[in-house]
């Protein structure tokens, strides 16, 4: 799986597991008789095979995380540390740039081929709505930054519907490993310089520092996992301890003598423990905290047992030809199994793999892994020219990167060209809601493309362009969630300030509200938090949302704006069970008592399926992509009766007739996609409702 051997040349000794002794240095610049243990460890290849099998089988059929990745992270540090310690004993200096080029020249070929192949397969088999995310994650994977991207998006790695996952999601572990391959050598070289300068034993200094790193990272991992497990899973600081554990193991491996009977028990118990980890542990809420010690310590036990277990030791199994062969292609198998699984599930329109589809995915992954390692990885490793000088190494690494960069950039350039061409004709070809105006005559070309292009759909969000100005007196607790338009008030008029509060369902309407505000010289301010409906008097299970709403309510009370714009109802997915926003009466009363006008807009319909993908898959005229409004919204707008009870300073807006004209909620109106996904409006379509919103706002409030 993870290419643990990339940082270390692990070659068989002349007699298989034979150990050799080499004179070295003791860290004080003097020769040392300490044995330098350079041994081929066949049990590690077998251990890698077991781990990758667990990762693949758990992903394909169990939909769970096995702990196999944690085993590989530890092994990679174990091998890397052994290399640096051996080099220090020989008195060799490490040229960091040359070392890094060597490492990534060996990591990149198979990874780049996988990235390139996955991009091509995504274009062929995945809906165009997913291309944007795939391309972004393709770049992140190539640059060893996928874990940061997933951490930013807080992806649920345990989501059961793998068909909706990114085919590059598994690159998070390779990214963390690549980052460690940069950071740990810096530490090794720096500590080597310290040991020479102060004439102390290198391995002792290294052990102390690594122990501190292990303890600090593990403590952080436990705390971060408890606070936000979805983000902690991809966090480098929360994972460093696994590498530190492997490094500490490398320092003690040749100093620990395990009796044969103990090695027999340790080895088999370690393998059994690794296999059982994902079945016994609920990793969904625990990893990568202290519970991840289970698979990593189990792997350490197997390595400590090594070949000391006698004729019945676990090393006999791990060193067997089948497991060693699988270990040889484990890197390729890890690279390919996830994109193959994701694309297969999407192609067959399934959320889980059965035995037939799962078996087919595994076979295809094995074939691709073998071909990649046999015809890409090994020949590239054997090529001596890149190792001759630094310049050659740079060229080799750049060439590898181009293998993946070219298809990613090509698809992006094609999408951009098509997008520009379509947008140039948008006024005529893509009227959106304006096509619903009485007497409208369409002049759209019969071959006009729908906008936004499917490849851009998931990025079709609107956001106000500027940070909030100082005169708004927004506290630091809200500053990061505050944005505003840049319109100047017309000469001689008093500027009106409208604060939009809530979540993404309030945010989407700013695409329609902002042009109205610009025309009238109003200031629009967003105070928004994703997934946090504005209901300050009704606590939820989300502590961060509760605190945010409390902060917003306090700010509005202390700094009353001209008006507050919010979503006044909550639609249920593919159901008529629409209700008022929780606590709406208290929220409105608190604002209107301060003289603030409240504008509440009815929620848009939500669905149990992705409306945009339905249109792409089945066509915009398909009945399943055109549900009736009565099936997704209440028969009577709940805000109607509410508005009658609040005649002062309250206005209710209902745009349903522009989203579901003639009682049908279509995925496309006026050659424009209405929905981004299963519940959010596209920025493009919302903007076409601007004139309708302005007219209704004027009628309800008398502002214009």
pLDDT tens digits for range 366-407: 999 999 999 999 999 899 999 889 999 999 999 999 999 999
Residue 611: pLDDT band with limits 50, 70, 90: very high
State how far the Cα of 476 lies from the Cα of 415, in Å rounded to an integer.
39
Please give the pLDDT value at position 238: 94
Both 9 and 155 in one domain: the answer is yes
Please give the pLDDT value at position 40: 61
Per DSSP, what are the bridge partners of residue 159?
A: none
Please give the pLDDT value at position 77: 95
Residue 186: pLDDT band with limits 50, 70, 90: very high
Tokens of 425: 């004709």
Both 338 and 462 in one domain: the answer is no
Both 176 and 226 in one domain: the answer is yes
> Does residue 482 sit in helix, strand or coil?
strand
Residue 285: pLDDT band with limits 50, 70, 90: low
Whether residue 163 is predicted with pLDDT greater than 70 in this model: the reply is no
Both 388 and 529 in one domain: the answer is no
Q: Where are the beta strands (DSSP E) in 199-355?
A: none
Please give the pLDDT value at position 284: 58
Whether residue 491 is predicted with pLDDT greater than 50 in this model: the reply is no
Q: Is the sign of the CA dihedral 173, 176, 182, 184 positive or negative?
A: negative
Tokens of 339: 């994109």
Peptide bond into 533 cis (omega under 30): no
Q: Which residues make Cβ contacts (< 8 Å) with residue 382, sequence separation at least 6?
A: none
Average confidence (pLDDT) over 40-52? 85
State how far the Cα of 598 lies from the Cα of 619, in Å rounded to an integer.
39
Q: Is the sign of the CA dihedral 88, 90, 93, 95 positive or negative?
A: negative
Question: Which letter does DSSP use for residue 636 in this model?
Answer: S
Whether residue 209 is predicted with pLDDT greater than 90 in this model: the reply is yes
Specify whether the CB–CB gap between 329 and 369 falls below 8 A. yes
Angstrom CA distances, 263 to 51, 267, 296, 390, 524, stand at 20, 6, 17, 44, 70
φ, ψ at 157 (rounded to 5°): -70, -15
Both 384 and 468 in one domain: the answer is no
Whether residue 625 is predicted with pLDDT greater than 50 in this model: the reply is yes
- CATH number of the domain enclosing 641: 3.40.50
| H-state helical runs in 521-652 | 543-558, 584-592, 611-618, 638-645
Both 108 and 251 in one domain: the answer is yes
Please give the pLDDT value at position 399: 95
Identify whether 281 is part of a domain: yes
Q: Among 290, 315, 247, 313, which Cα is nearest to 85's?
A: 247
Specify whether the CB–CB gap between 569 and 581 falls below 8 A. yes
Both 305 and 169 in one domain: the answer is yes
Whether residue 558 is predicted with pLDDT greater than 60 in this model: the reply is yes
State how far the Cα of 459 lies from the Cα of 430, in Å rounded to an integer.
18
Both 202 and 320 in one domain: the answer is yes
Q: pLDDT > 70: what percent of the chain?
A: 91
Residue 17: pLDDT band with limits 50, 70, 90: very low
Residue 489: pLDDT band with limits 50, 70, 90: low
Q: Is the sign of the CA dihedral 184, 187, 193, 198 positive or negative?
A: negative
Please give the pLDDT value at position 658: 96
Average confidence (pLDDT) over 656-666? 95
For residue range 442-472, list pLDDT tens digits in order: 888 888 889 999 888 888 999 899 999 998 9
> Does residue 13 sit in helix, strand or coil?
strand
Which range, of 22-31, 115-124, 420-429, averages the lowest pLDDT?
Answer: 22-31
State how far the Cα of 582 lies from the Cα of 642, in Å rounded to an integer.
13
Please give the pLDDT value at position 162: 55
Please give the pLDDT value at position 335: 97
Both 388 and 457 in one domain: the answer is no
State how far the Cα of 142 lies from the Cα of 175, in Å rounded to an integer.
9
Both 353 and 461 in one domain: the answer is no
Whether residue 608 is predicted with pLDDT greater than 60 in this model: the reply is yes
For residue range 249-277, list pLDDT tens digits in order: 999 988 888 888 888 999 899 999 998 88
**Residue pointed to by tokens 């507050």:** 564
For residue range 335-356, list pLDDT tens digits in order: 999 999 999 998 888 878 888 9
Please give the pLDDT value at position 550: 95
Identify whether 434 is part of a domain: no
State how far the Cα of 624 lies from the Cα of 616, in Å rounded to an integer.
12
Identify whether 543 is part of a domain: yes
Q: Which domain holds residue 192?
A: 4-409
Residue 688: pLDDT band with limits 50, 70, 90: very high
Both 602 and 688 in one domain: the answer is yes
Angle at 291 between CA 288 and CA 295, to 5 degrees: 90
Angstrom CA distances, 422 to 37, 73, 464, stand at 65, 47, 24
Whether residue 691 is predicted with pLDDT greater than 70 in this model: the reply is yes
Average pLDDT taken over every residue of the chain: 88
Specify whether the CB–CB gap between 354 and 179 falls below 8 A. no
| H-state helical runs in 17-95 | 42-57, 68-89
Identify whether 432 is part of a domain: no
Last residue of a domain, one of 349, 376, 409: 409
Please give the pLDDT value at position 161: 52
Whether residue 490 is predicted with pLDDT greater than 60 in this model: the reply is no
Peptide bond into 24 cis (omega under 30): no
Identify whether 84 is part of a domain: yes
Identify whether 167 is part of a domain: yes
Whether residue 605 is predicted with pLDDT greater than 80 in this model: the reply is yes
Whether residue 228 is predicted with pLDDT greater than 90 in this model: the reply is no
Residue 27: pLDDT band with limits 50, 70, 90: very low
Average confidence (pLDDT) over 138-165? 78
Q: pLDDT > 90: what percent of the chain?
A: 64
Whether residue 522 is predicted with pLDDT greater than 70 in this model: the reply is yes
Last residue of a domain, one of 357, 378, 409: 409
Both 477 and 604 in one domain: the answer is yes
Specify whether the CB–CB gap between 242 and 73 falls below 8 A. yes
Average confidence (pLDDT) over 190-205? 91
Parallel/antiparallel/unpaired status of strands 597-601 and 563-567: parallel
State how far the Cα of 502 lies from the Cα of 31, in Å rounded to an integer.
69
Please give the pLDDT value at position 165: 81
Per DSSP, what are the bridge partners of residue 482?
A: 527
Average confidence (pLDDT) over 215-235? 91
Q: Give the number of domains in the chain.
A: 2
State how far the Cα of 416 lies from the Cα of 131, in Å rounded to an integer.
12
Residue 281: pLDDT band with limits 50, 70, 90: confident
Which range, of 132-141, 202-211, 227-236, 357-366, averages the lowest pLDDT?
Answer: 227-236
| H-state helical runs in 646-689 | 656-659, 683-688
Q: What is the pTM of this model?
A: 0.81
Identify whether 619 is part of a domain: no
Identify whether 534 is part of a domain: yes
Last residue of a domain, one of 379, 409, 439: 409
Whether residue 218 is predicted with pLDDT greater than 70 in this model: the reply is yes
State how far the Cα of 134 lies from the Cα of 118, in Å rounded to an integer.
9
């Amino acid at each position: 799986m993870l290419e643990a051997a990339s940082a270390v040349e692990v070659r068989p000794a002349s007699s298989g597991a034979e150990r050799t002794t080499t004179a070295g240095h003791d860290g004080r610049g003097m020769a040392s008789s300490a044995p330098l243990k350079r041994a081929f460890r066949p049990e590690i290849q077998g251990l890698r095979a077991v781990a990758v099998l667990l990762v693949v089988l758990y992903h394909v059929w169990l939909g769970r995380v096995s702990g196999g990745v944690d085993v590989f992270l530890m092994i990679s540090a174990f091998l890397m540390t052994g290399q640096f310690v051996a080099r220090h004993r020989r008195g060799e200096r490490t040229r960091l740039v040359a070392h890094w080029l060597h490492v990534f020249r060996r990591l990149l070929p198979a990874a780049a081929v996988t990235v390139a192949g996955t991009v091509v397969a995504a274009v062929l088999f995945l809906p165009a709505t997913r291309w944007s995310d795939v391309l972004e994650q393709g770049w992140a994977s190539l640059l060893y930054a996928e874990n940061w991207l997933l951490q930013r998006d807080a992806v649920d790695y345990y989501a059961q519907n793998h068909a909706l996952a990114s085919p590059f999601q598994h690159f998070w572990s390779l990214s963390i490993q690549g980052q460690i391959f940069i950071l740990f050598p810096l530490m090794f070289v720096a500590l080597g310089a310290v040991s020479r300068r102060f004439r102390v034993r290198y391995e002792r200094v290294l052990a102390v520092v690594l122990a501190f790193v292990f303890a600090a990272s593990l403590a952080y991992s436990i705390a971060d996992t408890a606070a936000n497990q979805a983000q902690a899973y991809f966090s480098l600081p929360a994972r460093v301890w696994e590498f530190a554990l492997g490094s500490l193991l490398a320092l003690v491996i040749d100093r620990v003598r395990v009796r044969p009977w103990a090695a027999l028990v340790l080895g088999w118990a370690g393998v059994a423990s690794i296999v059982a980890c994902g079945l016994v542990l609920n990793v969904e809420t625990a990893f990568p905290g202290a519970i991840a010690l289970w698979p990593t310590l189990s792997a350490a036990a197997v390595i400590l047992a090594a070949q000391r277990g006698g004729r019945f030791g676990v090393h006999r199994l791990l060193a067997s030809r089948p497991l060693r062969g699988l270990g040889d292609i484990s890197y390729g198998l890890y690279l390919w199994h996830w994109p193959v699984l994701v694309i297969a599930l999407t192609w067959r329109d399934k959320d889980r793999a059965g035995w037939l589809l799962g078996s087919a995915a595994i076979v295809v992954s094995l074939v691709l892994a073998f071909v990649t390692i046999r015809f890409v990885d090994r020949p590239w490793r054997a090529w001596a020219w890149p190792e001759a000088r630094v310049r050659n190494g740079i060229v080799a690494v750049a060439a590898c990167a181009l293998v993946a960069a070219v298809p990613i950039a090509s698809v992006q350039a094609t999408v951009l060209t098509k997008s520009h061409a379509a947008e140039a004709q948008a006024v005529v070809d893509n009227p959106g809601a304006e096509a619903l105006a009485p007497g409208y005559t369409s002049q759209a070309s019969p071959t006009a493309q729908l906008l936004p292009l499917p490849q851009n759909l998931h990025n079709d969000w609107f956001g106000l362009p500027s940070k909030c100005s100082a005169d708004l007196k927004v506290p630091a607790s809200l500053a990061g969630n505050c944005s505003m338009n840049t319109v100047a008030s017309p000469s001689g008029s008093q500027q009106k300030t409208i604060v939009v509060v809530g979540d993404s369902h309030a945010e989407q309407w700013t695409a329609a509200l902002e042009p109205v505000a610009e025309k009238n010289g109003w200031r629009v301010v967003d105070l928004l938090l994703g997934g946090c409906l504005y209901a300050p008097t009704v606590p939820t299970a989300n502590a961060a949302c509760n605190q945010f709403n409390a902060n917003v309510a306090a700010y509005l009370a202390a700094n009353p704006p001209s008006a507050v714009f919010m979503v006044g109802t909550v639609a249920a997915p593919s159901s008529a069970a629409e209700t008022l926003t929780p606590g709406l009466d208290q929220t409105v009363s608190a604002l209107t008592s301060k003289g603030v006008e409240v504008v509440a807009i009815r929620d848009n319909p939500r669905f149990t399926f992705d409306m945009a993908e339905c249109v792409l898959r089945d066509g915009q005229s398909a009945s399943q992509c055109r549900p009736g409004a009565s099936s997704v919204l209440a028969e009577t707008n709940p805000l109607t009766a509410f508005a009658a009870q609040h005649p002062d300073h309250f206005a209710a807006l209902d745009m349903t007739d522009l989203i579901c004209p003639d009682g049908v909620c279509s995925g496309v109106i006026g050659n424009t996609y209405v929905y981004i996904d299963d519940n959010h409006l596209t920025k493009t379509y919302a903007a076409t409702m601007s004139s309708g919103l302005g007219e209704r706002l004027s009628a309800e409030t008398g502002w214009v």
